[in-house]
Structure 1
Amino acid sequence: MSPKQAAAGSDRRFLFLYALAWAGAAIAYTPFLTILLPVRVDLLAGTDNVQWLAILTFVGAIAASLANILFGWLSDVSGSRRLWVLVGLLSSSVLLGLFPHVDRFGPLVLLILLWQMALNMMLGPLAAWAGDCVPDRQKGRLGGLLAFAPASGALAGSVVTMPGLADPPLRFAMVALLAMSCILPLVLLGQSGKVATQRPRDDAVAPLPWLRAMVTRMWCARLLVQIAEAALFAYLYFWFQTIDGRFDDSLTARILTLVLFLAAPCALIAGRWADRHDRPIFPLCIAAILAALGLAAMAMARGPAAAVTGFLVFGLSSNVFLALHSAQTLRVLPYDGRRGRNLGLFNLTNTVPSLIMPSLTLVLVPNLGFSGLFLVLAFLSIIAAVLLRHADRC
């Protein structure tokens, strides 16, 4: 086997190990935040459940933002990603198992803070690990593989909550075990995990001023699309109810799961196309435009079929955008030995929308209805496409 063939095989092996680990990361938090924690809060708080959950979510988002930057930077300074990922995985899994044993609000807030710190001790270095090892010519494929993570998280939530499978305390342990089974193969068998200060082989180096401009454009574009994504994630059920009362929580969950599973192969196809044609940003522009069209269709929808169709267009395109964007962000960040910290700053585009979205919704929905909200979100998606329109080539 030639060195080039061996390198290609190593690349593919790492890609699939990393995609499995990233799916495990989604499993580590998606079932907990969307199902297990709300159920636990509802059991403990009674009529104060909404207030408890809002405070826990707000505090958790702030802790996640700061911890992601901190541990990404610490993995940069230490020169290794592997140990941080392993310690974060083990500590977050142990902390997850403590939640069924906490029955007061104060300790629950403290446990959320500790769990978010441990989780992001794993997530920050894990995100940077791909940038150390995956060459630019495979960033599109990487983005496509990352799109399977949200679907994996949703599927894990469905599995652990199957009636009769496990009692509530055991569900937390099942989530931790599923996450560990996906992440440990990368920790044990993946490439060295050493911090890279040079680009992977065969990657061309873009001019530094172009990179700096693209970092700003990519950050702003993701923030705008994430605001729309966060609003739909939080208020989709309520909007469906205004269209047709037959949209219950079960039907809404099935539609969401369908979108996540359909988005994964779409992102993989788009990412492979971007790699073959060396046009990494073009699929992002198209996805942002399609997301805007989906939101516009939702704003005009008056029946169930039109509502579901509009959401399918938005959900597919926005999830493709976010998956490919995560991978292509690694292309534009400089190889300055601080990738973990830089990705932590990029991660603010995932957490800040959770702080912006409630105020935006409270201002628009009472005055303009959901149609007005969706049109504003469509405009934000168009701006995201415009921000990226001049960056079709690296």
Structure 2
Amino acid sequence: MNEAASAAHGGGRQSLRFLLLYALAAAGGAMAYMPFLTILLPVRVEAMAGGAEVTWLAYCSFSGAAAASLSNILFGWLSDRTGNRQGWIVTGLLGSCALLLAMPLADSLPALLGLLVAWQVMLNMMLGPLAALAGDYVPDRQKGFLGGLLSLSPAMGALAGAFVTFEGVAGADARLAIVAALVALCVLPVVLFGRPVSFPELTARVDRPIVSIPEKRPQVVVPCMWLARLLVQIAEAVLFAYLYVWFRTVSADFGDDDTAAVFGAVLVLAIPATLWVGRWADRNERPILPLAACAGLTAVALLLMASAESLTFAVAGYALFGLVTSMFLSLHSAQTLRVLPRPQTRGRDLGLFNLTNTVPSLIMPWLTLATVPAFGFSGLFMILAALSAIAALLLASISRTN
């Protein structure tokens, strides 16, 4: 570990105010895309597609994922070059909110698709620099706690979706305005009132790549972290898309409200669990071990789900899966900041890591179509369990041993 990394590892602590406001902003990012992509956009496409909604949703998913991937890298890099992440965050926030409000103006599906791509670009103008902002201000000794706070994001994103679609709250167009307002209220405070403690060593330029995991080289650690997240994210993407369908194969009486209740309960339970594990990782200086353990438990949960023959067993298997994958993704997001080798390219490198969030959406449909018709969901879950086990082995190979 070089001098800069050592200082970041053992120096002062970031203020709780900044950490909490940053977690709120990250939750605002989730609120920006979760309600829109999972509920509001599909409803709008269905109303316009005239029976071709599946095809047009596929176009939207592919185009949106491609735009998000490229723009996240671009604006992360631009925020590195300019050294002004807050300016990009605010500009992206205003642009994405404006485009969200413009969605009702689309009078055709191609126009809606164009607005969606533009919205993804502006949204990632906000999200890319926002992710890098944590690396600029949160020292290594608090990254586990940061990961715990980031577990709030999926829960608040799901809660926002439930709120705006609650019967009687708002019409279709007003829902978009509510989402835009919620996002602005969550993101702006960290820019306006965060006042973070400065850690010059976290942003000091380095010529020789380093990572703050002793005895590990960045050319080993970074690819292992990237691939491990990709493998777990493929499993998470499959269950996100097909959870309801799978539950219905186990029990035809299990409705969409039951699925939403299980999904929401798991996200809520993940918050205190991730906070506890993150603080444990900080105190014991074992940043990667919880990631390896969560990936291993993901494989176990998928095997349980593959063999589930009763609804109780299926729900229990998914509860374990949802809990440990939520913990994994939140903690991984924070600990990725630890392993990126060059502070001066942090935004760009996080954009490359963001591909692990978007690429699974391109892989998942084809994997499912190739597996489920021939082998059922049990066969698919066994493949996903193998991928998660590989992720656990990769992370175990770089986990620091005391």
**Please, what TM-score do these two structures have when normalized by structure 1?**
0.94
* 1:206 to partner: Cα distance: 4.8
Q: 1:365: which partner in 2? A: 372
2:166 aligned counterpart, secondary structure? coil
Tell me how far apart the structure 2 counterparts of residues 102 and 141 of structure 1 sit (CA, whole Å): 42
Paired residue for 1:3? none
> CA offsets, 1:111-130, max 9 Å, x none?
01100000000000000000
The aligned residue for residue 47 of structure 1 is: 51
Q: Which residue identity lines up with residue 263 of structure 1 in the other structure? A: A
1:258 matches 2:280: no
1:239: Cα distance to partner?
A: 0.8
Distance 2:312 2:211 in 1: 47
How far apart, in 2, do the equivalents of 1:315 and 1:204 lie? 30
- Cα distance in 1 for residues equivalent to 2:152 and 2:259: 20
Give 1:209 deviation, angstroms. 5.9
Q: Pick from 124, 142, 149 the counterpart of residue 128 of structure 2.
A: 124
Q: What is the distance in 2 between the residues matched to 1:25 and 1:237? A: 25
* 2:342 aligned partner: 335
TM-aligned CA deviation for residue 87 of structure 1:
0.3
Greater mean deviation of Cα atoms: 222-231 or 12-21:
12-21
Cα deviation, residue 205, structure 1: 4.6
Work out whether residues 11 and 134 of structure 1, in 8 Å CA contact, stay in contact via their aligned partners in 2.
no
Q: Deviations over 1:339-360 (max 9, x none)?
A: 0000000000000011111111
**How far apart are residue 197 of structure 1 and its match?**
2.8
How many angstroms does 1:207 deviate by? Answer: 6.3
> Is the aligned partner of 1:172 residue 2:176?
yes
1:278 match = 285
Q: Which residue of 1 aligns with 2:307?
A: 300
User: Among 63, 76, 97, which residue is 1:59 paired with?
Assistant: 63
Q: Counterpart of 2:22 in structure 1: which amino acid?
A: Y
Contact 1:243 1:304 in 2 (8 A): yes
Residue in structure 1 matched with residue 86 of structure 2 by the alignment = 82
The Cα offsets for residues 179-227 of structure 1, whole Å up to 9 and x where unpaired, read as: 110110001122479995339xxx9955696122110100000000000
Letter in 1 for 2:159: L
The 1-side partners of 2:133 and 2:400 are apart by 24
The residue number in structure 2 matching 1:197 is: 203
Say whether the 8 Å CA contact 2:128–2:350 is kept in structure 1: yes
Q: Which residue of 2 aligns with 1:351?
A: 358
Matched, 1:317 2:319: no
* Secondary structure at the counterpart of residue 106 of structure 1: helix
1:258 and 1:190, CA in 2 relative to 1: closer, same or farther beyond 3 A? Answer: same
Matches within 5 A, 1:76-155: 76-155=80-159
Q: How many residues align?
A: 385
In 2, the alpha carbon distance for the partners of 1:74 and 1:205 equals 25
2:251, 2:311 within 8 Å by CA — same for their partners in 1?
yes
CA distance in 1, matches of 2:211, 2:168: 55
- Conserved 8 A contact 1:76-1:339: yes
User: The residue matched to 1:64 in structure 2 has which SS?
Assistant: helix
Percent identity at matched positions? 57
CA shift for structure 1 position 166: 0.9
SS of equivalent residue, structure 2 residue 203: coil
Question: 1:99 & 1:241 partners in 2: Cα distance?
Answer: 33
Greater mean alpha carbon deviation, residues 250-259 or residues 374-383? 250-259
Counterpart check, 1:37 vs 2:41 = yes
Which residue number in structure 2 is paired with residue 12 of structure 1? 16
Instruction: Quote the RMSD (CA, aligned, Å).
Output: 1.9
For residues 209-248 of structure 1, the aligned pairs below 5 Å read 210-248=217-255
- CA distance in 2 between counterparts of 1:191 and 1:338 reads 23
User: 1:217 and 1:327 mapped to 2: Cα distance?
Assistant: 15
Distance in 1 between residues matched to 2:345 and 2:239, nearest whole Å: 33
Structure 2 vs 1, CA of residues 380 and 164 (structure 1 numbering), >3 Å: closer, same or farther? Answer: same
The 2-side partners of 1:212 and 1:13 are apart by 35
The amino acid across from 2:94 in the alignment is L
CA contact (8 A) 1:295 1:378 kept: yes
